[in-house]
Structure 1
Amino acid sequence: MQLPLVTTRWLDANLNAAELVLIDVSMRKIVGKEAIVYPTPLFIPGSKRLDLETTLCDVNSSQANAFPTEAQFTGAAQRLGINSDSIVVLYDNQGTYAAPRAWWIFQAMGVKNAFVLDGGLAQWLSEKRAVVATLAGPAAAAGDIQGALQAGLVCNSDYIFAHLASGQLAILDARSHERFLGLKPEPRAGVRSGHIPYSLNLPFAEVLDGHCFKNPEQLAQIFSKLIGSKTQPLVFSCGSGITACIILLAAVMAGYQNVTLYDGSWADWGSNATLPVA
C-alpha cells in the first residue's frame, strides 16, 4: 500500500493536473472533537463534493455510517469523473476527521491511487493558500472506475466475536479514554458504555500533531507500545467507523499492513445486548 498522504505543498503545485480529482468529504455531524465552524462555505479550488453521510453510506442498513455498496461507490465515483488512472485526493474541513474514512472506502473498493490531504482545509487555510466559495462544476464525462470490495479490509461483529479470546487480533479503539472506560455516556441512544473485551485504547487525537498526522517515526513509536508485531492482524473501531480510520491510516504510515475496519464499531457492538462489554 502506498503512503496514504499528500502535503498541502504538493497539492498546491498539482491543482491543475489533468489526472487530479480533488474531493471535499466533510461531514455535518462531528463527534469526539470540537468542530471547526465556518461562517461561509470554503473549498480548495477545483474541489468536487462527495457526501459520506448519504452518497457513500448504505442508508438501507440499520448500522450507523454503514459502508456503501459496490454499486453506490461505483456510481458516485463515476459521476465525479474518476477514471482508473485518476489521482484522487480527499480532504475535509475539520483538519483530519472524515477524509481517512473516505480514503479507506476507496482502498477497500480497490482504488489504490487515492490519498488524504494531510491537515485538510484547516491546514490549507493556516498556510494562507487560495480558497473559493463554490465547488467545481460536474465532470465533463462519467469516469470508468469500478468499485470491487476487497476481502479482509472490513469486518463485522461476528468476525470479532469469533476471534475475541484467541489473541489473534489486536483491537484498537479510537474513542476517548472516558468513553472507552465507560466513564462518559455514549452519544447514541441505546448504546451501552464500555468497550470490546481485550481491546486497546488509542484516542485518535494521539496520532495527530495539530491538524496533521505525526510523522511515521513518531507513529511507529506509538504503535510499538501497543502492538508487539507488525504482522499481527489489527482491527480498528471507534463510535461508528469514522475516527477508527484515522488511527488505521496512522498504523499504515507506521508500517502495519494487516489492517481491518470494524465498520459498525461501538454503535453496533454496544447496542447488541448479546455481545460482551468490558
Structure 2
Amino acid sequence: MNQPLGSPIVSVKWLYSNLENPNLVVLDGTINKIFNTETQQIPKARFFDIKKKFSDITGEFPSTFPSEFQFQEEARNLGINNNSIIVVYDDKGIYSSARVWWLFKAFGYNKVSVLNGGFPEWTKQGLPKESMAQFIGEKGDFKANLQPGYMTFFNGMQKASKTKSHTIIDARSSVRFNCEVLEPREGLRSGTIPNSINLPFTDLLENGLLKDKADLKTIFASKITDETKAVIFSCGSGITACVLALGAEIAGYKNLVVYDGSWTEWGSLQPVR
C-alpha cells in the first residue's frame, strides 16, 4: 500500500490508487453538510458529522471539543478500527478536514491524513464519485486515548495571552483580525485576543492545495520568532485554526495547540478593554 503513515497529507492520486485497501477509511468531514442521496462523495466515504456527532452539543459554543467516550463511540459507529488508515476530506478543499485530523491526533490516533485539495481537487482530476450514502457496516473497535496539550480552553487561553507564554496565531482573515468587518456570527463582537498575531489560513493554500513544505517553512518562520515557545492557533470557532496546525506540523514545528473556543468564546466571555 505504501501508505505514508508519517505524512499528515496525501494526494488525490494516492487515495485513488489505494481505495480498495481493506484497512482504508475515507471520511467526509464537510461541516454542516446535509445528508442527501443526490449529493456526490468519494467512493466508500463515510460522513464524519463534526457538528452533531463529534462535538459536545450541550456546549455553549460551536464545535465544542467532545469527550473521550463520545469520540470513541461515534468513531466506532463509523466502523473505525485501531488498524484503520484514515483519509479525511471536505467539500471546500482544506477547511474542516483539518479539524477532523486534529481531533484524531488529540485522541491519540496518528494513522490519519488530510486529502490535499479535498473534494474539489478530486472532482478536478475527473476521479469517480458516487451518491452520498449512510455507513452500513460493523461497529469498529477504535480506542480513544485523550492526549494532553493538543487543545486549550478559555482559562488556558487567558493565561497564555496574559503571560505571553505562547506564540498565539489567529487564522481569521486580516479584515476580521483587524476589526475592519463585522464577525459573521450574529451578535459576536469584533476583536482580537491580546498578544496574538495574524496568519490567515488561506495564506497556506494555493489553487485549493496546501503549499509545499518549503513554502510553509518560510511562512511560519516569518511569524514564529521564538521557537522555544509552544504555539496556540485560534480562529473563529476552532475549525480553521487546525489548518494552521496542519501546515505547521508539515513545516516541522512541535508543541502545537488549538484553542477550542477561539474568538467565538473569547469575544463572548472576555470583556472589552
Aligned AA (1:103) = W
In the TM superposition, residue 159 of structure 1 has moved relative to its aligned partner by: 0.9
Percent of aligned positions that are identical: 37
Counterpart-to-counterpart distance in 2, 1:234 and 1:273 = 21
Counterpart-to-counterpart distance in 1, 2:48 and 2:219 = 32
Question: If the length of structure 2 is used for normalisation, what is the TM-score?
Answer: 0.93
Contact 1:94 1:121 in 2 (8 A): yes
DSSP-derived class of the 1:164 partner: helix
Task: Output aligned runs, 1:1-278, within 5 Å.
Answer: 2-28=6-32, 40-135=38-133, 137-139=135-137, 141-274=138-271
Counterpart-to-counterpart distance in 1, 2:153 and 2:32 = 25
In the TM superposition, residue 165 of structure 1 has moved relative to its aligned partner by: 3.7
Counterpart-to-counterpart distance in 2, 1:68 and 1:235 = 19
In the TM superposition, residue 167 of structure 1 has moved relative to its aligned partner by: 2.9
Query: Partner of 1:35 in structure 2?
Result: none
Contact 1:190 1:271 in 2 (8 A): no
Question: Judging changes above 3 Å, is the alpha-carbon distance between structure 1 residues 7 and 136 closer, same or farther for their aligned structure 2 residues?
Answer: farther
In the TM superposition, residue 253 of structure 1 has moved relative to its aligned partner by: 0.8
Contact 1:46 1:136 in 2 (8 A): no
1:203-249 alpha-carbon deviations (Å, 9 max, x no partner): 11100111110001100000001112444200000000011111111
Contact 1:22 1:90 in 2 (8 A): yes
Counterpart-to-counterpart distance in 1, 2:82 and 2:223 = 37
Query: Partner of 1:32 in structure 2?
Result: none
Aligned AA (2:165) = Q
Counterpart-to-counterpart distance in 2, 1:164 and 1:177 = 19
Contact 2:65 2:260 in 1 (8 A): yes
Counterpart-to-counterpart distance in 2, 1:159 and 1:168 = 10
Counterpart-to-counterpart distance in 1, 2:12 and 2:208 = 12
Unaligned residue ranges in structure 2 (runs of 5+): none
Aligned AA (2:106) = A
Counterpart-to-counterpart distance in 1, 2:158 and 2:191 = 16
DSSP-derived class of the 2:94 partner: coil
Aligned AA (2:44) = G
DSSP-derived class of the 2:269 partner: coil
Aligned length: 267
In the TM superposition, residue 166 of structure 1 has moved relative to its aligned partner by: 2.9
Contact 1:48 1:137 in 2 (8 A): yes
Question: Judging changes above 3 Å, is the alpha-carbon distance between structure 1 residues 127 and 181 closer, same or farther for their aligned structure 2 residues?
Answer: same
Counterpart-to-counterpart distance in 1, 2:222 and 2:117 = 25
DSSP-derived class of the 1:270 partner: helix
Question: Judging changes above 3 Å, is the alpha-carbon distance between structure 1 residues 162 and 134 closer, same or farther for their aligned structure 2 residues?
Answer: closer
In the TM superposition, residue 69 of structure 1 has moved relative to its aligned partner by: 1.2
In the TM superposition, residue 39 of structure 1 has moved relative to its aligned partner by: 11
1:56-86 alpha-carbon deviations (Å, 9 max, x no partner): 1100111221011111111111111111111
Contact 2:37 2:132 in 1 (8 A): no
